Structure 1
Amino acid sequence: MDAIQQHMLDTYRAACLGEPAPPPPGRHDRRTLRDLYHHWLTHPPANNKPVRPHSGPSGHSSPSGA
């Protein structure tokens, strides 16, 4: 189910329950991204080291993950 289908379902449920319809998908994306960016500028990550997945002693991970 994509975002539009979910919104249609949520709108239908809200109408059946007599509640206000939810906002359309993507309506607040720009503001949310802007707020996250400003938060990152004022509170930068403390650890800038890249995260590397653990691999076996040979440098190759096995299919079982062990």
Structure 2
Amino acid sequence: MSVTQQFLLDSYRAAQHGQAAPPAPGVHDWQVVREVRDYGRFNAVIHERPARGRLRAALHRLLSGLREGGVRTPRPLP
């Protein structure tokens, strides 16, 4: 059964019982993305790492190592 079919079935059942219809699939996707991002930032602060710019800094280290003619070994995390 697909997500759409399940949603339609749940909506039908809710209408039969006089309840509110469930949210449509994909309605809360951006909220989930924001919560995952916030959790990652919170986790970084708890572990005393920079909360922002970690991905960009890692890519910069990787690309600068490639420009210098070799691949650097990854720096261990503190």
Structure 1 distance, partners of 2:24, 2:8, is: 9
Structure 2 distance, partners of 1:31, 1:39, is: 12
Q: Which amino acid aligns with 1:22?
A: P
Which blocks of at least 5 consecutive residues in structure 2 are unaligned? 48-78
Map of 1:10 onto structure 2: 10
**RMSD between superposed Cα atoms in Å:** 1.3
Q: Higher RCO, 1 or 2 (CA under 8 Å, sep at least 6)?
A: 1
Map of 1:40 onto structure 2: 40
Q: How far 1:2 sits from its partner (Å)?
A: 1.1
TM, length-normalised to structure 2: 0.53
Q: Within the alignment, does 1:25 sit opposite 2:25 as a pair?
A: yes
Amino-acid identity (%): 40
Segments ≥4 residues shifted beyond 6 Å: none
TM, length-normalised to structure 1: 0.62
Q: Which has the higher helix share?
A: 2
Map of 1:62 onto structure 2: none
Alignment length (residue pairs): 45
Which blocks of at least 5 consecutive residues in structure 1 are unaligned? 47-66
